[in-house]
């Protein structure tokens, strides 16, 4: 007894639209039609459809099914390519599971940037947005350092920056900027690459700087941006002062060593 399109699809565990799609691609031969115009599928059509579905389950691309189903000489290469792609998908799924486990463990928001699950409680919504952008700009080594900086519990400036109103007064801005500057100096000392991050920006310095600058401008209000700008200026001045002091101290030590050398006068 011949089958209708729906009956054939049910027998093969697929849908009518899928059967029609296979017809359009020329993978499944068109059957004869009854007097009333309805298609009538036979066993050969069911077997062909089941073979196509088998290849689809294996992950064979539709564009290569003709060659594989006919046993062409390129079949082993196609299968190896599919196997390699499946391996990548498995690794991707395993990574996703690891992230889900970390999100559940730390009760972090589901959209927290990858790798920042453990410090999610220290990130505001704006912080998460910035870190998402950073994850597209910096390399993995830099992101590892950024995670460590985020986990720094001595930095308590985050909530104050997040809650700073656009009309914050001068004293509030200045005091917060000084606190932020101290943290910046600390991080610059621990992670020197922050002073020149070019080596950690795979997309290039210009596009990364522009993207980061645009993000800050859009996400933070005028007072917050003012505080961050002041803090960076202060941090630069502090570092310059320390470097000048170190250079002066080194110069004094060199002069003392020369004075104590073989040619120095003795009392």
The arithmetic mean of pLDDT across residues 155-160, rounded, is 92
Give the confidence band of 136 by pLDDT, cuts at 50, 70, 90: very high
Return the CA Rg of the chain: 33
Digit-coded pLDDT (tens) for 31-65: 988 877 788 999 999 999 999 999 999 999 998 98
- The predicted pLDDT at position 36 comes to 77
Which pLDDT belongs to residue 260?
Answer: 59
CA distance 253 to 256: 5
Q: Quick check: 267 pLDDT over 50? A: no
Task: Tell me which residue of 238, 120, 222 sits closest to 178, measured CA to CA.
Answer: 238
Lowest model confidence (mean pLDDT) among 28-37, 87-96, 255-264: 255-264
pLDDT at 28 over 90: yes
For position 250, what pLDDT does the model report?
57
pLDDT at position 257 is: 60
| CA 233 centroid distance within chain | 30
Residue 266: its pLDDT value, please? 40
Task: Please give the average per-residue pLDDT across 134-138, as a whole number.
Answer: 94
pLDDT computed for residue 265 by the predictor:
40
Cα 150 from Cα 152, distance rounded (Å) = 5
Contact between 46 and 73 under an 8 Å Cβ cutoff? The reply is no
Average pLDDT, the chain: 88
Mean pLDDT of 130-158: 93
Rounded average pLDDT over 238-256: 61
- Mind listing the pLDDT tens digit for each residue in 184-202? 999 999 999 999 999 999 9
Q: How far apart are CA 249 and CA 93, in angstroms?
A: 56
Give the percent of the chain with pLDDT over 70.
90
Comparison of pLDDT for 72 and 81, the residue scoring more? 81
H/E segment holding residue 51 = helix 43-58
Beta-bridged to residue 39, according to DSSP, are 33
Measured CA angle at 198 (ends 211, 157), to 5 deg: 65
Cβ atoms within 10 Å, residue 182: 17
């Amino acid at each position: 007894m011949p089958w209708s399109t729906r009956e054939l699809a049910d027998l093969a565990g697929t849908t009518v639209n899928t059967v029609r799609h296979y017809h359009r691609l020329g993978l499944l031969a068109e059957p004869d039609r009854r007097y009333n115009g309805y298609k009538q599928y036979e066993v050969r059509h069911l077997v062909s459809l089941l073979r196509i579905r088998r290849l689809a389950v294996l992950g064979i691309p539709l564009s290569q099914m003709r060659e594989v189903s006919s046993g062409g000489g390129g079949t082993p290469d196609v299968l190896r390519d599919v196997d390699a792609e499946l391996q990548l998908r498995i690794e991707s799924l395993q990574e996703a599971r690891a992230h889900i486990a970390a999100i559940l463990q730390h009760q972090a928001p589901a959209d927290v940037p990858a790798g920042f699950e453990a410090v999610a409680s220290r990130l505001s919504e704006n912080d998460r947005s910035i870190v998402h952008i950073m994850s597209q700009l910096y390399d993995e080594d830099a992101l590892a350092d950024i995670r460590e900086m985020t986990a720094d519990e001595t930095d308590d400036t985050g909530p104050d920056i997040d809650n700073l109103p656009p009309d914050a007064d001068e004293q509030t801005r200045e005091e917060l900027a000084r606190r932020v500057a101290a943290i910046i100096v600390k991080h610059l000392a621990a992670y020197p690459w922050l002073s020149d991050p070019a080596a950690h920006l795979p997309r290039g310095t210009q596009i990364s700087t522009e993207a980061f600058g645009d993000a800050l401008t859009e996400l933070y209000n005028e007072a917050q941006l003012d505080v961050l700008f002041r803090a960076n200026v202060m941090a630069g001045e502090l570092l310059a002062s320390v470097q000048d002091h170190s250079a002066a101290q080194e110069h004094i030590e060199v002069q003392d060593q020369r004075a104590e050398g073989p040619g120095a006068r003795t009392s």
